[in-house]
Copies of this chain bind each other. A is one copy, B any other.
Amino acid sequence: MTTSDQPDYFTPSSSTALLTDKYELTMVQAALAAGTADRRCVFEVFTRRLPPGRRYGVLAGTGRVLEALEVFRFGDAELAWLERADVVDRRTLDWLAAYRFSGSIRGYAEGEIFFPGSPVLVVEGTFADAVILETLVLSILNYDSAVASAASRMTSAAGTRPCLEMGARRANEQAAVAAARAAVVAGFQGTSNLEAGQRYGLATIGTAAHSFTLLHDDEEQAFRAQVDALGPGTTLLVDTYDVTRGVERAVAIAGPGLGAVRLDSGDLGQQAVEVRAQLDALGATGTRITVTSDLDEFAIASLASAPVDSYGVGTSLVTGSGAPTCSMVYKVVARENGAGVMEPVAKASASKASVGGRKSAARVLDRAGRAEAELVVSGSDAAVDAWQPGDGQRGLLVDLVRDGVADAAYTGPEGVRRAAEHHARVRAELPATALRLSAGDPALPQRSLLLD
């Protein structure tokens, strides 16, 4: 039996509409029946906490949310399955068939720093229009921001040395594409991931693995094959057998113009010192050293004084360096009541209480332009809508979607480029303590302003 006559189980759907928890749809069904589906609502994405010890988070994925929204459509295939699987009733199927998000979304610009309580995304529309986006919005922001938050610590620890993303093999195959993108938002300079390169116009990197050396009868044959094909500017992996002999062979074959050598095992700091001395002695003073073995922000920091020229980071990056997801939630904070009046709402019980009401936010800066607090404004819908940041306050919410139409400046390759620039700019505002890798409290205190 072969799979040649099988359906294509693998390729993700061209619609994002089923990347959704079932209860979003059953809630729509119940609200349609109750006549409450059209009540105007404000949903807010925020996190109650940063991962233990982290001083700031980095928002990533906003551009992907807008891109996902464009293809959030219940087409014939989705509707046929929902009917067959008896997920919702006919009335709801008809509503889903016509669904286009027609509300508005504001949020922190992608690449922005966030803290507990920061209203990073504010979705406004009817209940049904907005609730149905919950799962997809959170999937995107929680993973992408987890990666970007880890990546920012790495690029900060690396200083001016480039960090390169190579974690695809340690993440789900599609998550890997998002991870590469999020890493670049937070300052990485390239990725090994070709799909990410294609989709978002990212620089791609990589030359050869140990298997290439092992394929050949000996290391010399392998290096010669690589240099012949990729030129002397290539990066040779020198630790398959013996590093010292590997470096010697590498320079002998490629000449002193060899682009770089890569170290992927052992004590990277000590080896880098030895390899640098050896390269210099061989006249290969311009040959760079790149290291790639199980790096995280702490390993990068510990290599600061070693003669390393770039860092390739995999596992710890794509798994958020100990925090593989943010704990962002998507909560209704205001809604129209039975009388048509907008009211703040919040869950009251136990451990998951939240602050009701629409929010806005600003970063409070001192005279030198240094961030000193996160101002979160809440209150009545109209008052918060009308609020504007004052002197020494940088407003944090930007318009992302108006009346269902996304601002293309935040999507695609251009969106990634802007987000990376934004991140570099706003990270530079933070106080120096924010960039310490050691465990600590959030770098900025939150100030609350309650409007009537």
- The chain A residues found within 8 Å of chain B, CB to CB, are 1-4, 6-14, 16, 18-27, 29-34, 36, 39, 41, 43, 64, 66-68, 70-71, 78, 81-82, 85, 87, 89, 127, 131, 134-136, 138-140, 142-144, 166, 168-179, 192-195, 197-200, 204-212, 214-217, 221, 224-226, 228-230, 239-243, 264-266, 293, 315, 318-320, 324-325, 327, 330-332, 335, 337-338, 345-352, 405-409, 411-412
The 5 closest A-B pairs by CB, nearest first: A23-B206, A34-B225, A174-B174, A172-B175, A138-B169
* B171 A143 Cβ-Cβ under 8 A: yes
Question: A193: which B residues are within 8 A, CB to CB?
Answer: 19-22
By the criterion CB–CB under 8 Å, are A406 and B2 in contact? yes
Inter-subunit contact A68/B173 (CB<8 Å)? yes
Contact partner of A318 among B23, B179, B325, CB < 8 A? B325
Of B22, B87, B169, B240, the residue contacting A21 (CB under 8 A) is B169
**CB<8 Å pairs between A and B, sample of 16:** A2-B406, A18-B194, A25-B194, A29-B230, A30-B225, A39-B215, A87-B194, A87-B204, A138-B170, A139-B169, A139-B173, A142-B170, A211-B331, A240-B347, A318-B325, A324-B324
Give A24 to B207 CA distance when docked, in angstroms. 8
With contacts A67-B10, A70-B10 taken as known, whether A36 is within 8 angstroms of B139 at the C-beta atoms is no
Asked whether, in the complex, the Cβ of B142 is within 8 Å of the Cβ of A198, the reply is no
Task: Choose among A22, A315, A352 the residue with the greatest number of B CB atoms under 10 Å from its CB.
Answer: A22
User: What is the distance, in angstroms, from A167's C-beta to the closest C-beta of chain B?
Assistant: 9
Among A21, A224, A264, A325, chain B packs the most CB atoms within 10 A around the CB of A21
Is the pair B171, A206 in contact by a Cβ cutoff of 8 Å?
Answer: no
Chain B residues whose C-beta falls within 8 Å of the C-beta of A143 in the assembled complex: 170-173, 175
Q: Do B67 and A173 have beta carbons less than 8 Å apart? A: no
Nearest chain-B residue to A239 (Cβ)? B349
Among candidates B34, B87, B138, B407, residue contacting A1 with C-beta atoms closer than 8 Å? B407
Q: Are B23 and A192 in contact (CB-based, < 8 A)?
A: yes
B9 to A67, Cβ gap below 8 A? yes
Q: Which of A134, A195, A208 has the largest count of B CB atoms less than 10 A from its CB? A: A195
Residue of B whose beta carbon sits closest to that of A323: B319
A13 adjacent to B209 (CB under 8 Å): no
Most buried by B among A9, A78, A320, A412: A9
Shortest distance between the CB of A24 and any CB in chain B (Å): 8
Residue of B whose beta carbon sits closest to that of A205? B22
Q: Is the CB of A411 within 8 A of B9?
A: yes
A3 touches B408 (CB 8 A): yes
Can you name 6 extra interface pairs (CB under 8 A) apart from A6-B411, A11-B12, A144-B172?
A16-B173, A143-B170, A214-B347, A315-B327, A318-B325, A320-B324
Nearest residue in B to A246 (C-beta to C-beta)?
B349
B66 touches A3 (CB 8 A): yes
Q: Given A173-B16, A325-B315, A412-B7, check contact A214 B332 (CB 8 Å).
A: yes
